Amino acid sequence: MIQEKTISKNEIKKQKVTSEASFPDEAFHLVDINGKLEDAIQKANVSVEKYDGDYKKTKLYMVENRGEIDPHEMFQNELLLKQIDQIGAFSVTILDKLMKLQDSPYFARIDFREENEKQAMATYIGKFSFTYDNELLISDWRSPVASMFYDFDVGPASYDAPIGKVSGSLKRKRQFKIKNGELNYVLESSTNIQDDILQQELSHTSDEKMKSIITTIQKEQNLIIRNENAQTLIIQGVAGSGKTSVALHRIAFLLYRFKDRLSAQNIVILSPNKVFGDYISNVLPELGEEPIYELSFSDIARVQLEGVIDFEEEKNPLETYDKQWVKRACYKTTLEFVQTMDSYLEQVNETIFEATDFSVKEFFVAKEWIEKRFHSCKDYPIKQRLQIIADNIYHRLEADNPMDEPVPKPKTVLKSLNSMLQIKSTLALYKDFYIRMGIKDLFVMPAKNTLEWSDVYPFLYFHARLQGLKQSKLIRHLVVDEMQDYTPIQYAVLNIIFACPKTILGDYGQLINPNHQHTLKQLCQIYHGAELILLNKSYRSTYEIINFAKQVQNNSSIDVIERHGEKPSIFYCQTKQEETKQIKKQIKSFKQSKYATLGIILKTNDNAKMLYDELSKDYEVSLITPDSTAFQNGIIITSIQMSKGLEFDEVLIVSVNQNEYHTSFDRSLLYIACTRAMHLLNLTCVGEPSSLLPDSM
Ligand SMILES: Nc1ncnc2c1ncn2[C@@H]1O[C@H](COP(=O)(O)OP(=O)(O)OP(=O)(O)O)[C@@H](O)[C@H]1O
């Protein structure tokens, strides 16, 4: 359900009425394209049916004649089947793209005159390219020429083509709204047109899932999307600045740009929870790409530590824990902790292995040689070094064995080398670290062979040095969303497992864990040489909501889009009962409104559950908890922690009382909650209102 309402509604409406009259060439062009698309779809349908028929026929032949056909023919048939299957799948993809184009074939046109050319060439830009009779009729939004639509106004322009930079001037820019193959409107180029359309896009009510933004990608966002060269890109952006959207469009761009060596299977996204994963899951398929694999830090730990050691899952950061637990957890989130681990590892590298002479029967290798080999393989995990040395010794002995005596096998040599190791397991190494560094009280095991969550990644860091981690060769690009939630040691481990380019995005203004003690500057230190990009403009929320959020967070650096709506309201209540009544009133008014989603946000998961129990007696509401897997429209009750990354047409933040929200950390939480609202924000409080709320309310 998409409703269109915009600040420049009148202007766009007027354009709609006059589109066909004022732009007869465009109306004609669309009819032509529609006809060609129709024809292409028919042809694609025929070829899909043909491959389907061929596949079935070949399969049937093989089944019916099994046992009679000789193995060579069988093999040929199997190959043929595979081939038909692949071509058939390709035809289905083409058909699918053509059908998507049929609804809205293109959204923009640019007329570009190349230097030294007399005439400008028109390029129509759409979700995918479309070629008919060897003529390129629509260019993909990711193509080099299409970048000018996002980067330039009418006037001098250029783009990077495979042959180098192409310069010239943009003579015309037009934007279209085409729905069901019909021209809704055409807008002729002028600088504010893009703003008008952006306003219109942003005024939509929310969809169930995040949607693509190709028609209105902003210049600063386009720079990130099309950055091909950065090994690591760090995007720090205020709430609603489009970080997640941009990251997903960047993936679509990279898949297009490097289609010969990158596929969806080669990309993984580290996302905070399954609901968020579900929420963003439509963007790539909408852009014609396959969905990518999602992982969490807990998933990674489970894979790496299977059969090694157990661990406790991450605890809810907003609950209260004993002081010692907090002290342990806090310390392990610092960059200093990683540095301390590094200096310990450096020391231990000198002492962990005490070489002795290897001597079995007449075979002998001097300890000096073993020691030297150990240090020369220093880039390998210690146990792998021993394996390498064992193999080396075996080959050396074999080569120098004039009497042809039975040489000790590598396994025997390895056993002997292992006995020279002073610390034999990762757990022993990890324990030794705390003892040697004089911080023994910072390591506690909650149960036998079980780690606290804060020890999981430090343990993996040591495990990488002693045993080695399972490295992913398949993954060629890693995306990390909500970067502020992860600690330096987690990044250090990530870098060992995924030695590939990375897009890391988040907002250090949206910290969710009070025990985390690291900064953006430190993240940049870890990724020395990374490109850091700041996004300061918020697109999600109205001017009034962002102004409110800015006062909550004391952050004046957020730029706001001039899209206006109602001012946020605070409902002051005397009692809990009064507050419940007020919540019900808000639900009633939401139901009568045009909006699709109402997010009722509470500080903690427990509070959200309690309100859900109360409201679900009378209303159809859903609850998002850390165990939830899907996002849906309607009335959603959840905690601030779980609302991260999501957005709702309307948000109601419940119980913004002084006792709940008073610390600087609560400020960050309240900011997260406020900025989930796209169009309307309301708050309730019981008794004394939080001092973090803006004064003027
Ligand atoms: N260029 C754009 N055109 C249209 N909509 C946009 C654009 N950029 C962002 N948006 C919209 O703004 C909203 C916020 O985008 P997104 O969730 O990607 O932001 P974010 O920076 O990841 O937010 P947060 O950190 O608050 O979770 C989405 O509805 C998105 O579609």
Distance 239 CA to ligand 1 centre (A): 8
SS3 673: helix
ipTM of the prediction: 0.99
Q: Which residue's CA lies nearest to atom 12 of ligand 1?
A: 540
Closest among 423, 415, 353 to 390, alpha carbons compared: 415
Alpha helices in 184-294 (DSSP H): 191-202, 219-225, 243-257, 274-279, 283-286
Distance 573 CA to ligand 1 centre (A): 33
Distance 216 CA to ligand 1 centre (A): 11
| pLDDT of the residue at 512 | 85
SS3 354: coil
Other CB atoms within a 10 A radius of the CB of residue 644 amount to: 24
Q: Which residue's CA lies nearest to atom 1 of ligand 1?
A: 217
| Mutation pick for ligand 1 pocket among 244, 550, 646 (CB with most ligand atoms within 8 Å) | 244
Q: Which residue's CA lies nearest to atom 14 of ligand 1?
A: 240
pLDDT tens for 35-85 read: 999 999 999 888 878 878 877 887 787 777 777 777 777 777 778 878 877
The ligand 1 atom nearest the CA atom of 506: 25
Distance 411 CA to ligand 1 centre (A): 57
Fold adopted by 543-686: Rossmann fold (3.40.50)
| pLDDT of the residue at 191 | 54
The ligand 1 atom nearest the CA atom of 481: 22
List ligand 1's pocket residues with C-beta within 6 A. Answer: 198, 201-202, 213, 216-218, 221, 237, 239-245, 507, 539-540, 645, 647, 675
Distance 675 CA to ligand 1 centre (A): 11
- Separation CA 221–CA 147 (nearest Å): 12
| pLDDT of the residue at 449 | 95
The ligand 1 atom nearest the CA atom of 539: 12
The ligand 1 atom nearest the CA atom of 246: 18
- Binding-site residues for ATP, in ranges, read 237-244
| pLDDT of the residue at 316 | 82
The ligand 1 atom nearest the CA atom of 535: 21
Q: List all residues 6 or more positions away from 200 whose beta carbon is below 8 Å from its beta carbon.
A: 4, 5, 6, 8, 9, 12
pLDDT tens for 10-31 read: 454 445 445 656 788 899 999 9
The CA-CA-CA angle for residues 598, 602, 608, to 5°, reads: 90
Closest among 300, 304, 282 to 291, alpha carbons compared: 282
pLDDT tens for 293-352 read: 899 999 999 999 999 999 999 888 777 778 899 999 999 999 999 999 999 999 999 999
Q: Which helix (H) or strand (E) covers residue 140, if one does?
A: strand 135-140
The CA-CA-CA angle for residues 638, 640, 646, to 5°, reads: 75
433 close to 462: Cβ distance less than 8 angstroms: yes
- Separation CA 214–CA 428 (nearest Å): 53
Q: List all residues 6 or more positions away from 233 whose beta carbon is below 8 Å from its beta carbon.
A: 224, 227, 502, 503, 504, 530, 531, 533
- Separation CA 172–CA 156 (nearest Å): 11
The ligand 1 atom nearest the CA atom of 672: 26
Q: Which residue's CA lies nearest to atom 15 of ligand 1?
A: 242
Q: Which helix (H) or strand (E) covers residue 648, if one does?
A: strand 648-653
The ligand 1 atom nearest the CA atom of 644: 27
- Separation CA 140–CA 207 (nearest Å): 24
| pLDDT of the residue at 47 | 80
In the chain, the amino acid numbered 294 is E
Closest among 350, 347, 541 to 436, alpha carbons compared: 347
The ligand 1 atom nearest the CA atom of 247: 18
- Separation CA 107–CA 175 (nearest Å): 6
Per-residue CA distances from 191 to 194, 282, 537 (Å): 7, 31, 18
Distance 242 CA to ligand 1 centre (A): 3
Q: Which residue's CA lies nearest to atom 27 of ligand 1?
A: 645
Distance 314 CA to ligand 1 centre (A): 28
Instruction: Give DSSP secondary structure letters for 375-420.
Output: HHTTTS-HHHHHHHHHHHHHHHHHHT-TT-PPPPPHHHHHHHHHTT
Distance 561 CA to ligand 1 centre (A): 12
- Separation CA 108–CA 677 (nearest Å): 30
| Mutation pick for ligand 1 pocket among 213, 508, 546 (CB with most ligand atoms within 8 Å) | 213
Q: Which residue's CA lies nearest to atom 28 of ligand 1?
A: 540
- Binding-site residues, in ranges, read 237-244
For residue 183, the 8-state DSSP code is: E
- Separation CA 389–CA 417 (nearest Å): 8
Closest among 98, 106, 109, 105 to 43, alpha carbons compared: 98
Beta bridge partners of residue 542, listed in sequence order: none
Q: List all residues 6 or more positions away from 177 whose beta carbon is below 8 Å from its beta carbon.
A: 16, 107, 183, 184, 185, 197
Distance 240 CA to ligand 1 centre (A): 5
pLDDT tens for 384-409 read: 999 999 999 989 888 887 777 788 88
Q: What is the mean pLDDT of each run of 10 residues along the chain (697 residues)?
A: 37 51 86 95 86 79 76 77 79 87 94 94 95 95 95 93 92 92 83 69 80 92 94 95 95 94 93 87 89 92 96 84 90 95 94 90 87 91 94 88 80 93 96 95 95 97 95 91 95 95 94 86 93 95 95 85 93 95 96 95 95 95 93 93 94 96 92 96 95 79
| pLDDT of the residue at 129 | 94
| Mutation pick for ligand 1 pocket among 539, 647, 672 (CB with most ligand atoms within 8 Å) | 539
Q: Which helix (H) or strand (E) covers residue 610, if one does?
A: helix 605-615
Closest among 271, 423, 174, 318 to 640, alpha carbons compared: 318
Q: Which residue's CA lies nearest to atom 9 of ligand 1?
A: 242
Domain ranges of the chain: 1-103, 107-191, 323-460, 543-686
Give the predicted TM-score (pTM) of the model.
0.88
Q: Which residue has the tokens 């190494």?
A: 429
Q: Which residue's CA lies nearest to atom 19 of ligand 1?
A: 242
| pLDDT of the residue at 4 | 34
Distance 193 CA to ligand 1 centre (A): 20
Closest among 165, 44, 151 to 98, alpha carbons compared: 44
| pLDDT of the residue at 523 | 95
Q: Which residue's CA lies nearest to atom 25 of ligand 1?
A: 239
End-to-end Cα, the chain, rounded Å: 34
260 half-sphere exposure, CB direction, 13 A CA radius:
0
Q: Which residue has the tokens 């596929």?
A: 263
Q: Which helix (H) or strand (E) covers residue 53, if one does?
A: helix 24-64
Closest among 112, 11, 2, 98 to 47, alpha carbons compared: 98
| Mutation pick for ligand 1 pocket among 245, 271, 504 (CB with most ligand atoms within 8 Å) | 245
Distance 41 CA to ligand 1 centre (A): 33
Distance 108 CA to ligand 1 centre (A): 21
- Separation CA 594–CA 599 (nearest Å): 15
| pLDDT of the residue at 18 | 53
State both tokens at 371.
């020691």
